[in-house]
Amino acid sequence: MGLTELVDEALKLDPADRAKLAEKLLESLETLSDEETEHAWLEEALRRDADLDTDPSKGRGADEVLRRIRAQHG
């Protein structure tokens, strides 16, 4: 299974399970050096940028994101 398929499957999880998965993945990055962590975040930013170039409809405006966060956290 490639990364794209893995991400697609992970996004099908309910929010609580996605949060647990995210926590585990972030914990795994804590063992990386600062340089490795910076490189990983740069790769992720470039991937997201490429995704938006390919399909701009995947993006969300800041207003929408902030509205959703406020709604979730009252």
| HEC profile of 5-30 | HHHHHHHCCCHHHHHHHHHHHHHHHC
Domain of residue 46 covers 3-72
Do 11 and 18 contact (CB within 8 A), yes or no?
yes
Which positions ≥6 away from 10 have C-beta within 8 Å?
18, 21
Q: What is the mean pLDDT of residues 42-52?
A: 93
Distance CA 13, CA 74 (A): 24
What is the number of domains present in the chain? Answer: 1
Do 58 and 49 contact (CB within 8 A), yes or no?
no
What percentage of the chain reaches a pLDDT higher than 70?
Answer: 100
Q: What is the mean pLDDT of residues 20-27?
A: 92
Distance CA 17, CA 70 (A): 21
pLDDT above 80 (res 74): no
Q: How confident is the model at residue 45 (pLDDT cuts 50, 70, 90)?
A: very high
Q: What is the mean pLDDT of residues 25-48?
A: 90
Q: How confident is the model at residue 37 (pLDDT cuts 50, 70, 90)?
A: confident
